Amino acid sequence: MDAGAHHLDDNAFDEDARAAVYRAIFTRRDIRSDFVAAPIDDSTLARLIRAAHHAPSVGFMQPWNFIVIRDRRRREKVRDIFLQARIEEECNVAEDRRALYRNLRLEGICESALNLCITCDRERARDSPLGRWHNPEMDLFSTVCAVQNFWLAARAEGIGVGWVSILDKGALKALLGIPEHVVPVAYLCVGRVSGFATTPELQRRRWRERLPLAELVMGERYGASGDAGLTKAIADLPAQE
């Protein structure tokens, strides 16, 4: 190994640290039904939110806010919004899959220690076109990066997170007092859990299977096969759910 390559290796995490990052990624789960009655202390929650705040954001706009919801009655009202939205969504599920849909646990709003709504303020960086002139939705995408940072940090802390997407956005905004120009990007159930499943629930319940990675990688242009070396490297990866 030449000196230049050795210097580049100095930027990498050591083996244990790399393994921990990949473990958080591969064992993260969308939690619905495994929450336990245990609080999350403020110091831990602060670490998780700080991790979210350090997500990448286009133009360094940092468009996110974090609404912590602990009140039981407010969460019950959110669950009511969910239950109504679920009825509406079920009507659009294929008839032969509706029984499975009804048996899926899709939220843990009142069972988790707390709820967290991560929002995107679409006016926060309106005076700066950096990275947004041609792609104005980049503030929304940046907020999703904050959600992912929060989720992976929570997994590292042994805390479960469930993303409740079956919600009427207008009803949720009214309940939480969210201004017109602010978008609720993610409504999360957050809490200690009894354990993390080895495979995602929707995969385990056969709602969908994980797509083969090799079929999703393309080379140079959409629809073109990936290069042979990368295709072989993907095939040589160890099995991982």
Tens-digit pLDDT profile for residues 130-175 = 877 788 899 999 999 999 999 999 999 999 999 999 999 999 999 9
pLDDT at 229 over 80: yes
% of the chain at pLDDT higher than 70:
96
Q: What is the mean predicted confidence (pLDDT) over 25-35?
A: 93
pLDDT at 1 over 60: no
**Is the domain of 132 the same as that of 227?**
no
Distances in whole angstroms, Cα of residue 42 to Cα of each of 49, 50, 128, 130, 233 = 10, 12, 34, 35, 43
CB neighbour list of residue 219: distance below 8 Å, 6 or more residues apart: 225, 226, 227, 230
In a domain, 2, yes or no: no
Q: How many CB atoms lie within 10 A of CB 52?
A: 24
**Is the domain of 133 the same as that of 215?**
no
pLDDT at 2 over 70: no
**Is the domain of 218 the same as that of 117?**
no
Judge contact between 49 and 118, C-beta under 8 A: no
**Is the domain of 166 the same as that of 215?**
no
For residues 240 and 226, give the distance between their C-alpha atoms in angstroms, rounded to a whole number.
21
In a domain, 55, yes or no: yes
**Is the domain of 119 the same as that of 238?**
no
Higher-pLDDT residue of 4 and 128 is: 128
Q: What is the pTM of this model?
A: 0.91
**Is the domain of 178 the same as that of 220?**
no
Output the pLDDT for position 132. 78
**Is the domain of 185 the same as that of 98?**
yes
**Is the domain of 206 the same as that of 219?**
no
In a domain, 91, yes or no: yes
Name residue 183's beta-bridge partners. Answer: 120
Whole-number average pLDDT of the chain:
91
CB neighbour list of residue 67: distance below 8 Å, 6 or more residues apart: 116, 117, 118, 119, 176, 178
Residue-wise pLDDT for 159-215, tens only, equals 999 999 999 999 999 999 999 999 999 999 999 999 998 888 888 888 889 999 999
Residue-wise pLDDT for 39-93, tens only, equals 999 999 999 999 999 999 998 999 999 999 999 999 999 999 999 998 888 888 8
Output the pLDDT for position 7. 67
In a domain, 12, yes or no: no
Judge contact between 64 and 118, C-beta under 8 A: yes
In a domain, 4, yes or no: no
Of the chain, the end-to-end C-alpha distance in Å amounts to 34
Q: What range defines the domain where residue 221 resides?
A: 211-241
Judge contact between 132 and 59, C-beta under 8 A: yes
Tally of structural domains, the chain: 2
In a domain, 223, yes or no: yes
Residue type, 141: F
**Is the domain of 197 the same as that of 222?**
no
**Is the domain of 92 the same as that of 54?**
yes
Burial per residue of 130-157, b for 16 or more beta-carbon CB atoms within 10 angstroms, e otherwise = ebbeeeeebbeebbebbbbbbbbbbbbb
Residue 241 binned pLDDT confidence (cut-offs 50, 70, 90): low
